[in-house]
Structure 1
Amino acid sequence: MKRIVDIFSKDWSPEIIWTYIVNLDGVDNTQDLKRDEVPLSAFESEALRLAIAESRGDSDSIFAKVRE
């Protein structure tokens, strides 16, 4: 299952710092995705981990939000 996740600054600036396309399970079959829903917070956590690893900010200065 894939989701687009935006990284924002915690100062609540409306500007997006970075965007990730996060694929957590690698399942391409939509029937499997309907059975095994992945919580949105898991996508946000993975995008935040990637942003910190790529020096886009630290956990005190950025947050992640899944696009709806």
Structure 2
Amino acid sequence: MKRNVDIYSKGWSPDIIWTYIVSLDGVENTEDLKKNEVEVTAFEREALRLAIAENRGDPNTLFARARE
């Protein structure tokens, strides 16, 4: 399952900082994958993890929203 997830700054700017296409298929040891349907928040958490790992910001300045 794949989702597009946009990363935004928590500041006043409504601009998208970065977009990820997140696929959670085949990820091991993820509690969310044990459910029948993966929740949107699992994709948002993974996109935030990637953004922080790539130095696009820190958890206090970024948030993620999965596209419908």
TM-score, normalised via structure 2 length:
0.82
> How many Å apart are 1:12 and its aligned residue?
4.0
Q: Which amino acid aligns with 1:19?
A: T
- Residue 5 (structure 2) pairs with residue 5 (structure 1): yes
After superposition, residues 1-68 of structure 1 pair within 5 angstroms as 1-26=1-26, 36-68=36-68
Partners of 2:12 and 2:21 in 1: how far apart?
A: 22
C-alpha RMSD of the superposition? 1.4
SS in 2 for 1:63: strand
For structure 2, the 5+ residue unaligned runs are 27-34
Paired positions, count: 60
In structure 1, list runs of 5 or more residues that go unmatched. Answer: 27-34
User: For residues 61 and 2 of structure 1, do their structure 2 counterparts lie closer, same or farther at Cα, with a shift above 3 Å needed?
Assistant: same
Runs of 4+ in 1 over 2 A off after TM superposition: none
Aligned residue for 1:30?
none
TM normalised by structure 1 equals: 0.82
